[in-house]
A and B are shown apart, each in its own frame.
Chain A
Amino acid sequence: MLKVILRSLLLLMVFWGGSAQAALTIEITQGVKGAMPIAIVPFTWEGSSPAAPLDITKIVTENLYRSGRFSPLPERDMLAQPNDPSKVNFKNWRVLGVENLVIGKVRVAANNQYIVQFVLFDVFRSTQITGQTFHVGKISDLRKTAHQVSDVIYEALLGERGAFDTKVAYVTQSKDRAGKPRYSLQVADADGHGPQAVLNSSEPLMSPSWSPDGRKLAYVTFEGGRSSIYTQDVYLGKREKISGFKGINGAPAWSPDGTRMALVLSKDGSPDIYVMNLLNKKLTRLTTSYGIDTEPVWTRGGDAIVFTSDRGGKPQLYQVTLSSRQVKRLTFEGNYNARATLSPDGRMVAMVHGNGNRYQIAVMDLENGAMQVLTDTSLDESPSFAPNGSMIIYATESRNKGVLSAVSVDGRVRQRLVLQEGDAREPVWAPYGK
């Protein structure tokens, strides 16, 4: 029995954002037995106030734990709490079975800057693996620093880049006091902290998609009683309507170089895939089937688009090459495969894989076509890869609520993000950005 269920124990984090309604709770629903034992000694605080303005140790510990790859030692089990490399006694940690040790400190420097320092040790070799010093200008940036510390530790020990210092966008639906639906496009840290609404509407919002630099979102709104596509700078709030044709305006997807947008229009009949040049707004039609062609995603090189089509009777994934317009079918297993998303390395495609009653997230190896179902829920939707490819965030239904969940690409680690009120859906993990 490799897997161990840690349901509702060890970690229940409640994050309070701008309003109580936006609060998210993260639960690890399945962790990995055999995760790497690590000790993160509470960072010491050297400042005039009694405590540091932010508990960096707690954030780092929770990040590493939540990845499912680490098993942090509880603070109460620590035999010592050194804050300087010279005070570390590796024997204290070896006896506890700890393989890696993190110590650190936070202090206030001149002009109210914060200095965050940490060192990561290999306990069995008694050596320092890495260490770093961060100069932080504002209290509000300390959280970002905690995520960066987590990223450094993650990469040093696992050999792949961390994705803690990243953002996630998603759509929420709740009810206002009059009971009318209220839709909101939210952007939060990847751990669910600090959600901020970048758009609120009384009409449905759909299909958020990040620009490759992580600054803009494209999305679908129903303002004015019909669909249209906008792009919006998440940080400046400026937005632009790029598509408002008769019929469907849907499923925007930025090209890898950010100059083009794939989208779905039904202005010429049934829904088809188009590509818009974002500079001159010129449209190129890529597909012409009588069926529903939708949910385009770009391949890594930007020379082909994977999409959903029911041209063969049931929704399946297809790929169209931009230059030749040649279409090939990608999925053959199961009678419903839709809403593709490609892994950052381009090797895998994740999708909604269904049989009429159960809709789960599956991944397919594009090289050999092997399909693996990753989730044990039903009504799963909208998979999106972390920018390092380690996890897939998706939407599902739990206890009559729309919730966000994440699963590792091998299916071994699962976590759930539950909104306190209302439903959350359509999560999209932001790219690393530039």
Chain B
Amino acid sequence: MNILRKALILVVPVVFLVGCASAPIDATDDVLTDSASGLNDSSTGGNTGGGNFGSGAGGSDDSAQITGIQDSSSIGRSELTLSDKSPSNLLNTRVIYFDFDRSKVRAEFTDVIAAHAEYLANNPGAQMKLEGHADERGSREYNIGLGERRGNSIARHLGLQGASRGQLDVVSYGEERPAAVGHDETSWGLNRRVEIIYTREQ
């Protein structure tokens, strides 16, 4: 389900405008110009939600190793890296789930958030997008508010643990982009979430 979601994030937004009835062609052209600039926005806005980090990963490994040695001498463990894909790497957990109508972080996610905070603190150039989501129950705009509250809740925890506010960007999608499409508690539980997306890794 997560992989599917991430694939969706990679979708480049494309907007087509269609004039109702008999729209003059020049009006449509104007509008297409608008949407073209929207396209540019999104491509620079970044969409590195996927798991493949490309050529940048090598450099990241090198610097991580150097600081890792220094760290291990002082605190006894190596620095967290995004390139380490092992299940034990807490940075590989990129979805935080919430209770109904709540934005409080559940205890089971505190270590995950601490790991991401540490990574952001150690990599001041890294940028993170926090996408807040809600389940389908209730009204859509209220759920947009709820999704933002969840995103802000994670951002606050990250900030308290060393991330700088400038590294974090919260966007709420409310109930508009469900991870699971069922109309039951299982699906709802999967949809009440914040997705962590690194838009810049370091």
Contacts and interface: CB of A to CB of B under 8 A. Distances in A.
Interface string B38-53: 1001100101000000
Nearest to A397: B183
Interface stretch (A4-12, A122-130, A236-244): A236-244
A226 interface: yes
Contacts of B8: 180-181
A339 B173 CA distance: 17
Given A336-B138, A338-B138, A359-B138, A239 B17 contact: yes
Interface string A285-315: 0000000101100000000000010100011
Nearest to B46: A225
A357 B145 CA distance: 20
A427 interface: no
Contacts of A237: 17-20, 23-24, 27-28, 31
A430 B30 CA distance: 26
Contacts of A223: 13, 15, 35, 38, 41-42
A250 interface: yes
A9 B104 CA distance: 49
Contact of B16 (A200, A271, A310, A357): A200
A264 B15 contact: no
Contacts of A199: 15-18
Interface stretch (A104-112, A201-209, A409-417): A201-209
Interface in A365-400: 379, 381-382, 397, 400
Interface in A190-217: 196-204, 206-207
Given A204-B176, A227-B171, A359-B137, A198 B18 contact: yes
Nearest to B22: A235
Given A196-B21, A222-B173, A339 B14 contact: no
A266 interface: yes
B14 A202 contact: yes
B94 interface: no
B138 A354 contact: yes
Contacts of A201: 13-16
